[in-house]
Amino acid sequence: MSSAGYSLPSSLRVAFQQMLRHKMRSFLTMLGIMIGIASVMTIVSLGEGLRSFFVDFMATAASPDIVYVMPDMPLRPGKIDPAVKRFRNRDLEAVRSSSLVKSAVGGNYKEDALIRHGWRSASLNLVTEPHGFFRMEHLEAVEGRLYTDAEEQAAASVCVLGADVPGEIFGPGEPVLGATITVEGARLRVLGILNSRSALTAGAEHNRAVYVPLRTAQKRIFGSDELLWMAIQVQSIETMEAAKDDVTRLLRASRHIRSGADDDFKLYTAEDWTSFLSSYLNALMYTLASVAVLALLIGGIGVMNIMLVVVRERTHEIGLRKALGATRANITMQFLIEAMTLTLAGGALGIAAGYGLGSLTSMVMSERFDIYWSPDIPPFWIGLTLLVSAVVGLAFGVYPASRAGALDPIQALHHD
């Protein structure tokens, strides 16, 4: 310690000198903090990057004047409850009768549909939707073509395959376009193959799906006019809320819902989907980050133990400084600053490591699973992380620092 009195610049200089003098010990002390901060930053960088991806995706994939109507069921991955009350064609016609609705389409969905071609078979997703919805979902035919509106109206026996379907029910080199496959007992001719989609944009669902015109599926596969969802385009964004109220009124009447009873359906806009995904990501990030905080606590304990060793090693130095006039507060503050310097340095290295791990994870997922988004760490999280690092140093440095400040100068000077 360069002087008896306390000054922040001199205390910081001494703290950095101690770190450089004992490089390996300082690094090992910071390691626990680095691991904890790096874990939190990896989670945050991936989570925030994923949030930005979904916001951008919803901005392009979902028009702000579209309202999606779904049965009242949990918005979570998994099987669709067979007990869910689906819509009927009469519900779709009721919605179309609203003066505030520009257009409305509906579709259906079946999981684990049996798809056959020759002796090969697979359980795949069956998606029945009108021709116009391909454009809304940014799906295009990379081979062949999509079915037309005329083929849909005529309930033609045709279908379009998701990108992964040919590999599951066709042999190597076997022609796909024009081939006949059996979908839940109905023989359909393959018109085209769709572009592949990333797993982040429901690729697992779309790539392993067979697309069939709605009327074809209702007549030849389902044997009913059930619909799982409806997409409604309102006349203008300004009348969105009024249109939602009118659609709700019409659907309650069409579905014979008694006055005072809850709706058995939900209306969602692009903003609603974004809010749902954002809240889901927040819950996931905070849960995982809370687990990573345990590493910070372990790192803090490591800092406290090392600082106790440092106090013992520098007992004679502490006694000398007190003999020259340093107060208990001066000594305590010096060791607190050294502890906080260690944790702040560990936090800064952890931030860099966390961003690097997030970028590496993104690259690996992009290469192996066709899932890509850019990691992102908002300034708020960087500031919060450095503040937490400082607080950890303060909390776990108080005891060693107070012991250093409480040393008796006479006994300290005689310490060997």
The dihedrals phi and psi of 197, each to the nearest 5 degrees, come to -120, 150
CB 403 within 8 A of CB 397: no
Kindly tell me the burial class for residue 380, based on how many C-beta atoms sit within 10 Å of its own C-beta (0-12, 13-18, 19 or more). exposed
CB atoms inside a 10 Å sphere around CB 379:
7
Tell me, yes or no, whether 1 lies in a domain: no
Per the domain annotation, does 342 fall within a domain? yes
Domain encompassing residue 198: 63-268
Task: Report pLDDT for 60.
Answer: 63
pTM passes above 0.85: no
Q: Do the Cβ atoms of 83 and 134 come closer than 8 Å?
A: no
**What pLDDT score does 2 carry?**
44
- Taking the CA atoms of 234, 235, 240 and 243 in sequence, report the sign of the dihedral they define: negative
Alpha-carbon dihedral of residues 339, 345, 348, 351, nearest 10 degrees?
Answer: -80
Q: Which residue has the tokens 């708020």?
A: 380
139 and 44 inside one domain = no
Tens digit of pLDDT at every position of the chain (416 positions): 444 445 677 777 877 888 888 888 888 888 888 888 888 888 888 777 777 777 776 666 667 788 889 888 765 555 666 778 889 999 999 999 999 999 888 888 888 899 999 899 999 999 988 887 787 677 889 999 999 989 999 999 999 999 999 999 998 889 999 999 999 999 999 999 998 876 555 556 788 899 999 999 999 998 888 898 898 889 988 889 999 999 999 999 999 999 889 998 999 887 777 777 777 777 777 777 777 777 788 888 888 998 998 888 888 888 888 888 888 888 898 889 989 999 999 999 999 998 888 888 877 776 765 566 677 788 888 888 899 889 999 999 999 999 988 888 888 777 66
**Residue 209 pLDDT:** 92
Rounded to 5 degrees, φ, ψ at 132 are -65, -20
Which of 248, 268, 288 marks a domain boundary? Answer: 268
Q: Which residues of 192-218 are buried (b: 16+ CB within 10 A; e: fewer)?
A: bbbeebbebbebbbbbbbbbbbbbbbb
Number of structural domains the chain divides into: 2
With beta carbons less than 8 A apart as the criterion, state whether 75 and 276 touch.
yes
Q: Is residue 106 part of a domain?
A: yes
Would you state the pLDDT for residue 323? 84
| Residue 198 covered by a domain | yes
Taking Cα atoms as reference points, which of 275, 345, 342 lies closest to residue 304?
342
Q: Are residues 401 and 304 in the same domain?
A: yes
3-state secondary structure of 265: strand
221's enclosing H/E stretch is: none
Of 224, 246, 268, the residue that ends a domain is 268
DSSP assignment of 30-69, as one string?
A: HHHHHHHHHHHHHHHHHHHHHHHHHHHHHHHHS-TTEEEE
Upper half-sphere CA count for residue 376 (Cβ side, 13 Å): 12
138 and 204 inside one domain: yes
